[in-house]
Amino acid sequence: MSTDWQVSQAHIIASFVFAFLGLFGHALLSSRISTQLPGQQRHWQLTSALLLAAALWCALLMARLGLNIRWAGFNGAWTLIFIALLGCMTLINRTYGTRSGLQSLLAAALLALTLSFSVMAGLASDTGIPKDRILVSRHFLITLALFFLVGLLLAFDLTARLQKPGSAGLVRVAATAVFGAVILTVGRHMITSAYLPSMPPFTSLTDAEHAGRLLLALFLTLTFLLLLTVVFLAFITQRKFHEQAVHLENTQSIIERMHDSRGHLEQLAHYDTLTQLYNRHAFLDAFTQRLHDARQSSGKLAVLFIDLDNFKSVNDSMGHAAGDELLRIISRRLRTVLRGHDLIGRIGGDEFCLVAPIGNIEEAKSIAARILNKMHEPIAISGRAVTTTTSIGISLFPYDGESQDVLIKNADFALYQSKGSGRNTMNFYSDYLSHKSHRELKIQHDLQKAITQSELFLQYQPVRNLGSGAIVALEALIRWQHPEKGILTPEHFINIAEFNGFVDLVDTWVTRKICRDMHTLSAAGHILRITMNCSAMNLNNDRFISEILRILEEERIERSLFKLEISESILFEYRHKAPVFLSRLKESGIGLVVDDFGSGSSSLVWLKTLPICELKLDRCLLGNEGQDNDIVSALISMAQLMHWEVTAKGVESHETAEWLTGAGCNNAQGYGIEPPLRLPELMALLSSRAEHYANDL
């Protein structure tokens, strides 16, 4: 073969550069397509495919320009067909070539067939070689196999990995170079091996034809580079727009999150996180506005201060989680009884405050009554039934104050009165309550000091057996030696201690004092049982019994000598809560004495279930000049059938004592028997002849 048939090496190198740039650009664009907006991805996929097709066409055309032969002509139609088919096959290869199995092989075969047929058909048309001679060439299968290899390289996983964002730059460059070299090797084989043997006799190119081809190659190079530059500039510009759009979207997202955070912060700033009611700060701000509006319109407002009666006991017995759930339930119930224009907030702990526009006092009373009734409904927390009540204090604008602070303070005074008068009730503010509250606040302050400064003391009222006249028991009565007011009895300070949460300190002091006085009496040879009065608060305190048992054990006192005394009215009022307390009392071995029996409405069937060891008849049964003797006789007979001891209280005369003895009553106590005595006086009485009943009555 003549050297004139050789292909120019410069054109081969230029062809390689075209193939390399096209493949590299295709891989680079493909790796960035996934970062575009969804609507633009298909557009850039088509652009990437056409760029590769144009690059391969330019590479093969550059190789053909390197042939030292004349062409029959330049066929533009076949060129366009070649580029279009190659672009379509590249898209198909991109879509299906990275999949496994038959789809990958079919995609690679279609790409190879397109390359082979387009190039050969184009050469045949341009060089004047008959198509049938080319298509039946013995080198066709070799050519098809080589292009099939190109299709596989582009189709399989390596191409897919190169198209991923973040692929290593050197790896992409090296792989692209390999692809370009393979394609050019195939193209050169087609030209020099497949087609040249079929070429007709030729005429060498003139200098002018060489110069024309050189200019054409230069034009082709500049055109391709310009195309490549435009595509990449467009892509970079589009990417910048995309980045700005993403940045704008992120900024919008940040603004939305800031808006949500602001709303959340406002929620935290104005609402209580537990109950979702106004917190103290927001409530007071809203209250100020309501006062302003009421002044402008000459309206009236009711300020209701609401407090749960037994919240502390629920917290202590069931835990803080149960206490929180109780507050949530109470808050929901409060909302159900309010009108749309009423204002409510959680002031703190278990305290709520309600501001309601009213027309008259009866309207305020009606609102309070609805709240009290709603709170009577049973509540279930963690599978346990909880009964709670509320106490309410009410002040009225403008009668009880003009300012927010004064109205809340006066409503608090009224609440204090509701707590002190038995709870589960309402009270309106009055000047009397204000003076009374000031006095009680001072007593509260003094009582806290009295516990630590030994101002409290005990008196014991003896209980005599009516048969033998002997003192068989003592009732412990707490007293307070006030430095200014003298001796105060429990009704002046116990309610204050209960309301302010330090009655436990008083109970602990009384229990330990009784135990130590028992040791003193026992050392003198006087073994007596002593009863300690128990309040309603103790029934709600799960730790009360365990604390008494702990003190008895520490002081080494027999449980059979220590009794708890509870009035019948308290037992009946708290009958739904009392079973737990009484069950623990029964297990403890401490006896129960029912005080003021006969004044309540207890069921005898219910009383039979209690761990009772003694009944104390109410003094009112003995003060009607014998009119209630039949009732007393019946109660004594009933107690004897139940094997309960009976003690008559308030016995003031010898005649009453004699009648009780004849009726079968076991014991008696009262000022006609013995007055309450301090321990030294009691010791003297027990050691003297006055201890004999016959001499005392």
Q: What is the pLDDT of residues 271-287, one digit of tens each?
A: 888 888 888 888 999 99
Quote the Cα angle for 489-491-497, to 5°.
100
CA distance 108 to 207: 42
Pairing of strands 486-488, 471-482: antiparallel
663 and 634: one domain? Answer: yes
Q: Is the pLDDT of residue 372 over 80?
A: yes
Backbone angles phi, psi at 338, to 5 degrees: -90, 155
Chain centre distance of CA 201: 92
Decide if 334 is inside a domain.
Answer: yes
Q: Which segments of 574-628 does DSSP mark as H helices, in order?
A: 578-588, 604-608
- How many folded domains does the chain comprise? 3
Query: Does some domain include residue 163?
Result: yes
Q: Which residues contact 251 (CB under 8 A, 6 or more apart)?
A: none
Task: Kindly state whether residues 498 and 370 are assigned to the same domain.
Answer: no
Does 194 have pLDDT greater than 60?
no
Q: Are residues 480 and 560 in the same domain?
A: yes
| Average pLDDT of the chain to the nearest whole number | 75
Indicate whether 66 and 179 sit together in one domain.
yes
Average of per-residue pLDDT across 598-626:
77
Confidence band for 218, pLDDT divided at 50, 70 and 90: confident
Say if 273 falls within a structural domain: no
Residue-wise pLDDT for 244-266, tens only, equals 777 788 777 777 776 666 655 56
Tell me, yes or no, whether 458 and 417 share the same domain: no
The answer to whether residue 697 is domain-embedded is no
Residue 206 counted as domain residue: no
Peptide bond into 490 cis (omega under 30): no
**Per-residue pLDDT at 207:** 67
The tens digit of pLDDT for each residue in 454-486 reads 889 999 999 999 988 899 999 999 999 988 888
Domain-embedded: residue 267: no
Q: Is residue 201 part of a domain?
A: no
As a dihedral over the C-alpha atoms of residue 210, residue 215, residue 216, residue 221, rounded to 10 degrees, the angle is 130
Task: Using only the alpha carbons of the chain, give its radius of gyration.
Answer: 53
Lowest mean pLDDT among 62-71, 143-152, 294-303, 305-314: 143-152
**CATH code for the domain in which residue 466 is found:** 3.20.20.450
* Mean pLDDT (whole number) for 627-650: 88
pLDDT of res. 202: 46
Higher pLDDT, 118 or 370: 370
Q: Is residue 129 part of a domain?
A: yes
Same domain, 559 and 637: yes
The predicted model gives 277-303 an average pLDDT of 90
**What is the rounded CA–CA span in Å between residue 329 and residue 323?**
10
Q: Could you tell me if 176 and 313 lie in one domain?
A: no
| Assigned token pair, 49 | 């495919």
Q: Range with the lowest mean pLDDT among 140-149, 354-363, 453-462, 655-664? A: 140-149
Quick check: 164 pLDDT over 90?
no
Do 413 and 474 belong together in one domain? Answer: no
Residues 66 and 173 in one domain: yes
CA 676 to chain CA centroid, Å, is: 57
Model pLDDT, residue 606: 74
Q: What is the CATH number of the domain that holds 290?
A: 3.30.70.270
Residue 344 and residue 224 in one domain: no
Predicted model pTM: 0.47
Please say which residue of 203, 222, 246 terminates a domain.
246
Helices (H), 453-531: 494-499, 503-523
Instruction: Write out the E strands in 35-91.
Output: none
- Asked if pLDDT for residue 427 goes beyond 70, the answer is yes
Range of the domain at 303: 280-429
Concatenated DSSP letters for 152-193? HHHHSHHHHHHTSTT--HHHHHHHHHHHHHHHHHHHHHIIII
Lowest mean pLDDT: which of 136-140, 146-150, 406-410, 540-544?
136-140
- Cα(90)–Cα(111) distance, integer angstroms: 7
Q: Are residues 394 and 461 in the same domain?
A: no
Same domain, yes or no: 516 and 650:
yes
pLDDT score, position 622:
80
pLDDT recorded at residue 648: 93
> From its phi and psi, is residue 317 left (phi > 0), alpha (psi between -120 and 50) or beta?
alpha
107-132: average pLDDT: 51
**How far is 220 from 107, CA to CA, in rounded Å?**
30
Contact of 619 with 649, CB cutoff 8 Å: yes
CB atoms within 10 A of CB 371: 21
